[in-house]
Structure 1
Amino acid sequence: MKKILVFTVLICFMAAAHGQETFFPTKEGTVLVYKTFDKKSKETGSIRYTIEKVSISGNDMDISYLVESSDSRGASLYKDKITIQQRDGRLYMDMSNMVNKAAFQQDGEIPAELEITGNKMEIPVGIQPGQTLPDASVVMAMKMGFVSMKMAADITNRKVDAIEDVTVPAGTFKCYKLSGDVSATVMGMNVKTSNLDWYAKGIGLIRSESYDKSNKLQSFIQLTELRK
């Protein structure tokens, strides 16, 4: 499942307009490094995000990231690129970019029979505790030889729970705590999880926790290094 659906950890909530501080970095060259862990707190890998380009036109902004994933030994797993857009005072992320296409590489190439569609995850400006956020979804269809596979995922019940301080290896940050549910269907198998995420202004994701349907912690990710 982790290789089938990787919703990027750098979903840096909220664009800002007219002088408001953003909830994500906007400086080219900024690097954020995250470590991933299993339910027993054993390190399973790392993900590095580098801002390659920031394009600004009036109040609109496009931020392009290079995403590099490695296993617990430091061996490279995949590289990909994603773009986050600010339009009309809202931040949009194309959900088709949130799938780890590199997990389906065959001889170093992405299969031509891979099709990904989805709506854009939307985050309004100026969220506050108690506020609900719009749902999002993604659908993927592909063929690997004679095998066809389809996956669909819905992100629902998104809301802002609180503002609280969170300490991770990269430091202590004042964060917005967000929650949501993910319901995925893969080849007829249903998988349901719930997520808790903490985001800080000017940085983005600080820590994320994933729970199973019994509300038991399954994995978590946290910011370990920040270079601006």
Structure 2
Amino acid sequence: MRTLILIYCLFLVTSVAFSQNCSKYYPMEEGTSFQYTMTNKKGKTEGVTDYSITNVENTGGVTTATMNMKFTDEKGKEILVSDYKISCTGDVVKIDYNSLVPAQMMKQYTDMGMEMEISGTDIELPNNLSVGQGLEDANVAIAIKMTGMNMNIKVDQLNRVVEKKESVTTPAGNFECYVITQDNISEIMGVKQTMPSKLWLAEGVGMVKQETYNKKGDLTNQMLLTKLNN
């Protein structure tokens, strides 16, 4: 379950773009950093995720940024450190689905004698967002092979729609955001779970807030931008 939660959190947070030159959303400069605090439905802190841009390269009209992520639990224990890449071409930013599975996690499984196969569809976000606009679906699937047993994990982002514009205030400031709704469907060993979510996205900043709900529409957790240094 910890594996699914970490992949799921990565999938949500990286559902947004990271470029000043070829996207309106998120700065793409080395040294830029930001922090999100995750809370449960009662407002209790469950963990903190710190991001920093460690490298930016421009080759053949494609801009690629390397993002470092560190997840710390509610007790201050470092749970995961990972790097992933985001590429930007023209007016669309793509997040490679392979990058959504942390190398540290893959190494742990490999050291245990397991094999992992990853497939999926890159996450895309265009510059020209507008209320009512539909966005492309995305997914990542992981097949874990071990002696005498195989385990399949899949996370889909479906029905992605720009719902409205809204002002949001967080400890990091006040932001004018587009609100993107989507259905997140996870599947482990044939057992499916649907988790609708909303994503608040601000120009030049990126994700400001994200809320996840159960199938009844009740809030289950929230991620909020609490620090920004750009």
TM-score (norm 2): 0.89
Offset, 1:115: 1.7
Offset, 1:3: 2.9
- Three-state SS of the structure 2 residue aligned to 1:3 is helix
Equivalent pair of 2:121/2:140 in contact (CA under 8 Å) = yes
| Partners of 2:190 and 2:148 in 1: CA distance | 18
Stretch moving more, 7-16 or 198-207: 7-16
- State the partner residue of 1:48: 50
Deviation >6 Å, runs of 4+ = none
Stretch moving more, 112-121 or 31-40: 112-121
Counterpart amino acid of residue 70 in structure 1: T
1:89 pairs with 2:91: yes
| Partners of 1:198 and 1:144 in 2: CA distance | 39
- State the partner residue of 1:3: 3
Counterpart amino acid of residue 149 in structure 2: V
Given candidates 112, 115, 118, the residue that maps to 2:117 is 115
- State the partner residue of 1:12: 16
Stretch moving more, 126-135 or 103-112: 103-112
| Partners of 2:155 and 2:110 in 1: CA distance | 26
Offset, 1:131: 0.5
Q: Quick one: structure 1 residues 109 and 40, their matched pair in 2 at CA, closer, same or farther if it must change by over 3 Å?
A: farther
Q: Quick one: structure 1 residues 84 and 14, their matched pair in 2 at CA, closer, same or farther if it must change by over 3 Å?
A: closer
Mapping for residues 133-152 of structure 1, pairs under 5 Å: 133-152=135-154
Aligned residues: 226
Equivalent pair of 1:11/1:204 in contact (CA under 8 Å) = no
| Partners of 1:110 and 1:26 in 2: CA distance | 37
TM-score (norm 1): 0.90
Equivalent pair of 2:65/2:87 in contact (CA under 8 Å) = yes
1:131 pairs with 2:133: yes
- Three-state SS of the structure 2 residue aligned to 1:96 is helix
Q: Quick one: structure 1 residues 125 and 111, their matched pair in 2 at CA, closer, same or farther if it must change by over 3 Å?
A: farther
- State the partner residue of 1:159: 161
| Partners of 1:167 and 1:120 in 2: CA distance | 30
Give percent identity, aligned residues only: 28
| Partners of 1:110 and 1:133 in 2: CA distance | 38
| Partners of 2:115 and 2:61 in 1: CA distance | 37
| Partners of 1:111 and 1:181 in 2: CA distance | 34
Offset, 1:205: 0.6
Unpaired runs of at least 5, structure 1? none
Superposed CA deviations along residues 186-220 of structure 1, whole A, max 9, x for unmatched, are 01211101010001111111000001111111111
Offset, 1:6: 2.5
Superposed CA deviations along residues 65-109 of structure 1, whole A, max 9, x for unmatched, are 011110112111011111111123211111232235645664995
Q: Quick one: structure 1 residues 59 and 52, their matched pair in 2 at CA, closer, same or farther if it must change by over 3 Å?
A: same
- Three-state SS of the structure 1 residue aligned to 2:217 is coil
CA RMSD of aligned residues (A): 2.3
- Three-state SS of the structure 2 residue aligned to 1:97 is helix
